Amino acid sequence: MYGAALTRSANALRTGAIVVFYEPDAACIARANRLAETLHCVVVDNTPGSVSDARLALRDDIEYLPNGTNLGVATALNRGVGALKSAGFDAAILLDQDSEPSPQLLLALPRALEGQPESRRVALVGPAYEDRRLGGVAPFVRFGYLALKRVAPEGEEPVEVDFLITSGSCIDLHAWDAIGPMDDELFIDFVDLEWCVRARSRGFVLLGLPSLRMSHELGGEPVRFLGRAYPGHSALRHYYLFRNATALMRRRYVPLSWKSTELLKMPVRLLIYGAFMTPRLAHLRMALLGILHGLKGRLGPLRR
């Protein structure tokens, strides 16, 4: 059944991919079909209502798991990981529906994970991502007090980091039980950051792979302010962004270094999204509502 799984050597990690769908178009489905040519693919579909059209257009060997409603990216990823673990896979490559990694990247990620000594306890590896709208290849990130420490993706050696974005990252599923699943209550935004922070707090290592690249676009059309580009989102996404940032600041295992940086960035984001995103009042209102709900501990999907 899993003949497409990566098994290039006797010791290779058995690797599958998880793609989260939400109202996918034909291009998203075509990308998933191409992905399944290289390795076993699990598609978890958060599209509300009927999802039969997506199933009919996907390859027969893709494992399709419809949720019937939008349960959030965390729950979708957890369901995909559960499917791969039940089938005996060792590693999972996580992808957004608009991501299209090359076959070479799909092979290189588990090899990099497998090549680390067991004593290092590597839970996650990921490539540098390139977003042409935000200025090219993004640096890797380490937390620092009052400002993030940005590490240029140069050279061949893996870089120890504090955070990797979900799309294009490769998880060692043998570390999953010790770290725990993604936080369902966050729903979307900062889901990957929270899991990375929790992994680090439990003694695991995250590695950025500077020699690997993947194209990825963060959010919608970016907003430019004082020479910097900020990813644009809907007012609803800004609710989750501000709510989850506020909620994470209240958690003890989240480093003070990250909290200090977020406290400085939050008023700047409020200014930018409230002044430059339209409709302005809706963006500002949803951001402030998110902060309020984060302080109150009201998580999960927003109930209107």
Burial of 276 (0-12, 13-18, 19+ CB in 10 A): middle
Q: Is the pLDDT assigned to residue 3 strictly greater than 60? A: no
- Full-model pTM: 0.91
Q: Report pLDDT digits (tens) over 157-203.
A: 999 999 999 999 999 999 999 999 999 999 999 999 999 999 999 99
Closest CA to 245 of 193, 286, 280: 193
For residue 144, count other CB atoms closer than 10 A to its CB.
Answer: 15
Output DSSP code: residue 234.
Answer: -
Q: What is the rounded radius of gyration, in angstroms, for the C-alpha atoms of the chain?
A: 19
* Encoded tokens for 92: 């999972």
Closest CA to 107 of 127, 88, 86: 127
Q: Is the pLDDT assigned to residue 125 strictly greater than 80? A: yes
Closest CA to 84 of 5, 195, 144: 5
Continuous H helices in 134-255: 176-179, 191-201, 235-249
Angle ∠(224,225,226) on CA atoms, nearest 5: 130
pLDDT value for 274:
81
Q: Report pLDDT digits (tens) over 197-229.
A: 999 999 999 999 999 999 866 656 666 666 666
- Do 209 and 196 contact (CB within 8 A), yes or no? no
Burial of 287 (0-12, 13-18, 19+ CB in 10 A): buried
Q: Report pLDDT digits (tens) over 49-80.
A: 866 677 889 999 999 999 999 999 999 999 99
> What is the SS3 string spanning 68-99?
CCCCCHHHHHHHHHHHHHHCCCCEEEEEECCC
Amino acid symbol at 258: W
Burial 255-270 (b: 16+ CB within 10 A, else e): eebbbbbbeeebeebb
What are the Cα distances from residue 34, in Å, to 65, 89, 280?
18, 20, 40
- Residue 230 binned pLDDT confidence (cut-offs 50, 70, 90): low
Amino acid symbol at 14: R
Domains of the chain and CATH, by start: 15-215 (3.90.550.60), 220-296 (no CATH)
Q: Report pLDDT digits (tens) over 270-298.
A: 988 888 888 989 999 999 999 999 999 99
For residue 195, count other CB atoms closer than 10 A to its CB.
Answer: 27
